[in-house]
Homo-oligomer: A and B are copies of this chain.
Amino acid sequence: MKPSSPGKALVVGFDVPARIGMPLAEVVTPALLIDLDAFEHNVATLGQQLGLAGLRLRAHSKTHKSVDIARYQIDRGGACGICCQKLSEAEVMVAGGIDDVLISNQVVDPARIERLAMLALRARMLICVDDSDNVTNLSAAAVRQGASIECLVEIDCGAGRCGVGPGQAAVSLAQQIAASPGLKFAGLQAYQGKAQHIREYAARGQAITAAITQARTTVDDLAAAGLRCDIIAGAGTGSYHFEAASNLYNELQCGSYIFMDADYQRVLDQSGQPISEFENSLFLWTSIMSKTRPDMAICDAGLKVLSVDSGLPRVFARDDIEYVNCSDEHGTIADPHNRLKLNQKLKLVPGHCDPTCNLHDWYVGIRNDTVECLWPVSARGKAF
């Protein structure tokens, strides 16, 4: 019997940065590493916390865009399902076997609405809405496809982005959903994205408390109109303690907790210290590629492998050197004690994990300084 199509071998250093079993020291740079012990700790920590509190975790896959990680969060981390931010991400996740997906965002163009309805034939699909015409179009597509789409009314509770106002605007939209064939009114999306990164605990708490108040008012108004919210959803890694304690939210959407990043570690807890319940598990592995000056070194990690929108990366576990400048393919590292050598490798903590992961095709999972797994960034670039 002839072999089937031979496929294509993955070349280390071209297609992939590593092979399984390789020592970390040999992993090609620049590459995105996951410290598996830290990652598993983070997944377990939040899963246990929310489980004990009787709250659902719908883990946000926009952080990682990986079917493998989504599967791990559901199988081992207590997640009831996942959030996606884009239809094309959701299509990747459903194709990968994830069967309970909220697109925590609007899908408003006609072609994509039709695809969403088709996807709802294969998995439980939930979507956020903030527009009446959109509800009409979602209903028509669901009816055409013979599908059922669950809708959360999104309210703007302070982030100033998507969402209708709290209270009556939300009630009107919910009533329309409840009356629309093919749709089910499933509850409320009330995510205060801007508050996640407020540094001081008290100020962050104040912003989230305001959001919770708006969500509570809306839930009460919905109840008065005879509409019950199965799901009251929102929260992120920076704020989830507040929503968890609200006695209102029942489904939390944390994403970054699995990895953490340099920006989230500037967010302070109640004692004024950086959040420490989650560990850094995501690293950008980089090499020194030029060392011509005693006080400076150039590494091979620049804007094309690191998103600097929320600040520069931090060199992990090194106080004696500092990443001080970023250009397209280079990073400048201040090396005042002249300790760095050509080809020396370093771990960087990315400034912002989500858009950094979206630059890469692979995660290299590391345990005991050895490559244990290679996970594709399955939905990388899926922005549609």
Contact = CB atoms under 8 A, between A and B. Distances in A.
Nearest to A16: B384
A361 interface: yes
A305 B342 contact: no
Q: Which of A88, A287, A304 is packed against the most chain B CB atoms within 10 Å? A: A304
Given A164-B292, A342-B131, A329 B383 contact: yes
A342 B161 contact: no
B193 A161 contact: no
Nearest to A159: B327
B14 A355 contact: no
Interface in A86-125: 86, 88, 91, 105-106, 108-109, 111-112, 115
Nearest to A381: B361
A332 B156 CA distance: 14
Chief secondary structure at chain A's binding surface: loop
Per assembly, the copies of the chain total: 2
A71 interface: no
Contacts of A380: 381
Contacts of A308: 309
Interface residues of A, number: 65
A108 B17 contact: no
Interface in A156-177: 156, 160-165
Contacts of A287: 108-109
10 contacts: A28-B384, A30-B383, A30-B384, A85-B328, A106-B290, A160-B332, A161-B330, A193-B327, A304-B355, A307-B307
